[in-house]
């Protein structure tokens, strides 16, 4: 019995300690005198690694998810003679939910795990300690550019995902299944609102960007400097960020559209 | 990989994202909405608003001129009070105009149909904050069936 309560207490304390340490890490990495010239090339490099290299998987997944939405939506809507509603169905589900969420999940798998493994290996091979020996703050030099790169690129990727997905839905619905071209776009335009749908989706993807990148960086930075340690940290990154994204998505949806 | 190539690819990435945002803005979202830009407010009291919602359109002969911005209950007579924002492009409806709550199609959404009234020299135009007094409430199917059954019973 005592052990039971003790384990609850220990887990709670560990969780709180972890959140605190992660916040301190992020604050130390981001707060400080800005160094625009030095940061720019580092940020460019990370935007390439985090953003550009994730673009292909995001575009292809977006296209296929849009096409599946078009196909599934059509088979259901045609029963009610409401196949004109295919446009808003595809656009709203992509802009509000699937765009931000699936982008965040793919991003956690594609870029988040890579960030964790990279920083974890840097710690294991004592590159971070050597940076400190040279009086270079590894938080500013290694963590900050990666954080900003994730923060900038994920909302952009989510926009691309939605745009490509809508085109995929158009391709299947209009070109293949024969929904009327004009009705598809005009009904979509009359029910999608820039502020309410597009901007709320954008806010979601910004929140997910912070959460996913933050978890990936913290897990990498605090990984045990051994092979199993890095492997565990990479797994934890993907698991924790996926759970955090899905949980936060429910909260944000309830606040925005509830 | 040299810095030049990285910068080029990041440039392509950002351009693709901007293209996606422009596509969403121009093709997907409605930015030609009558309620974007400057609006003025009109009020109307109804007996029953049916399924009217905030952001339902206000139409004149099928053309969207504004949207419902607020629905409350009048404190004095407990009647539904609907606040509409009409685009300033469509100013100067006469105060003999009437507002009805209509349904688009059999199962469609409900909207406010504004019917412009006659104009002569002692008719004023509707300005910001004015009330529309001629209103027709939403048709409630249950009431309609009730009336039908009642009239059947009379024979």
Q: CB–CB of B29 and A44 under 8 A?
A: no
Q: Are B97 and B42 in contact (CB under 8 A)?
A: no
User: For the segment A42-76, what is each residue's pLDDT rounded down to a tens digit?
Assistant: 888 899 999 899 999 999 999 999 999 999 999 99
Tokens of A4: 């039971």
Nearest Cα of chain B lies from the Cα of A91 at a distance, in angstroms, of 7
Rounded mean pLDDT, B130-142: 83
User: For the segment B106-129, what is each residue's pLDDT rounded down to a tens digit?
Assistant: 667 788 998 888 888 777 888 888
Q: Are B29 and A192 in contact (CB under 8 A)?
A: yes
Q: CB–CB of B30 and A51 under 8 A?
A: no
Tokens of A22: 């992660």
User: For the segment A175-201, what is each residue's pLDDT rounded down to a tens digit?
Assistant: 898 888 878 888 888 788 888 888 999
- For chain B, the residues whose C-beta falls within 8 A of a C-beta of chain A are 1, 3, 6-7, 9-10, 12-14, 16-17, 19-21, 23-25, 27-31, 33
Give a three-class secondary structure readout of chain B.
Answer: CCHHHHHHHHHHHHHHHHHHHHHHHHHHCCCCCCCCCCEEEEEEECCCCCCCCCCCEEEECCEEEEEEEEEEECCCCCCEEEEEEEEHHHCCCECCCEEEEEECCCCCCEEEEEECCCCCCCCCECCCCEEECEEECCCCHHHHHHHHHHHHHHC
Q: Are A224 and A233 in contact (CB under 8 A)?
A: yes
Using CA atoms, how far apart are residues A170 and A90, in angstroms rounded to an integer?
9
pTM of the model: 0.77
Domain range list for chain B: 1-31, 39-146
Q: CB–CB of B6 and A45 under 8 A?
A: yes
User: For the segment B75-111, what is each residue's pLDDT rounded down to a tens digit?
Assistant: 888 889 999 988 888 888 888 889 998 887 766 778 8
What torsion, rounded to 10 degrees, do the Cα atoms A228, A230, A235, A239 define?
130
Q: CB–CB of A41 and B24 under 8 A?
A: no
Chain B residues with CB under 8 Å of A95 CB are 24, 28
User: For the segment A9-30, what is each residue's pLDDT rounded down to a tens digit?
Assistant: 999 999 899 899 989 888 888 8
């Amino acid at each position: 019995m005592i052990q039971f309560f003790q384990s609850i207490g220990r887990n709670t304390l560990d969780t709180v300690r972890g959140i605190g340490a992660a916040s301190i890490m992020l604050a130390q990495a981001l707060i400080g005198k800005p160094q625009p010239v030095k940061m720019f090339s580092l940020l460019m490099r990370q935007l390439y690694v985090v953003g550009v290299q994730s673009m292909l998987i995001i575009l292809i997944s977006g296209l296929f998810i849009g096409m599946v939405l078009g196909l599934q939506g059509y088979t259901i809507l045609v029963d009610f003679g409401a196949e004109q509603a295919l446009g808003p169905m595809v656009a709203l589900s992509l802009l509000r939910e699937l765009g931000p969420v699936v982008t965040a999940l793919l991003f956690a798998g594609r870029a988040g795990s890579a960030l964790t493994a990279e920083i974890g290996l840097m710690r294991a091979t004592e590159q971070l300690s050597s940076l400190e020996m040279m009086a270079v703050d590894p938080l500013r030099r290694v963590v900050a550019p990666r954080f900003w790169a994730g923060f900038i690129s994920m909302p952009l990727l989510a926009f691309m995902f939605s745009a490509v997905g809508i085109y995929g839905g158009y391709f299947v619905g209009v070109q293949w299944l024969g929904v009327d071209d004009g009705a598809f776009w005009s009904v979509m335009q009359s029910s999608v609102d820039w502020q309410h749908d597009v901007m709320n989706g954008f806010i979601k993807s910004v929140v997910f960007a912070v959460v996913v990148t933050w978890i990936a960086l913290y897990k990498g930075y605090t990984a045990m400097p051994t092979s199993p340690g890095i492997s565990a940290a990479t797994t934890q990154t993907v698991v924790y960020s996926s759970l955090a994204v899905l949980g936060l998505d429910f909260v944000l949806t309830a606040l925005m559209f509830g | 990989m040299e810095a030049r190539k990285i910068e080029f690819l990041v440039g392509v990435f950002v351009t693709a994202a901007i293209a996606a945002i422009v596509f969403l803005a121009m093709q997907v979202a409605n930015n030609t909405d009558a309620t974007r830009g400057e609006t003025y407010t009109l009020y109307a009291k109804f007996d029953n608003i049916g399924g009217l919602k905030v952001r339902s359109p206000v139409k004149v002969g099928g053309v969207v001129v504004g949207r419902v911005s607020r629905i409350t209950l009048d404190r004095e007579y407990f009647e539904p009070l609907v606040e509409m924002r009409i685009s300033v492009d469509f100013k100067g409806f006469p105060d003999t105009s009437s507002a009805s709550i209509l349904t688009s199609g059999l199962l469609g959404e409900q909207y406010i149909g504004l019917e412009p009234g006659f104009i002569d020299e002692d008719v004023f135009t509707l300005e910001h904050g004015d009330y529309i007094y001629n209103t027709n409430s939403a048709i409630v199917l249950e009431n309609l069936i009730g009336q039908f059954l009642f009239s059947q019973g009379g024979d």
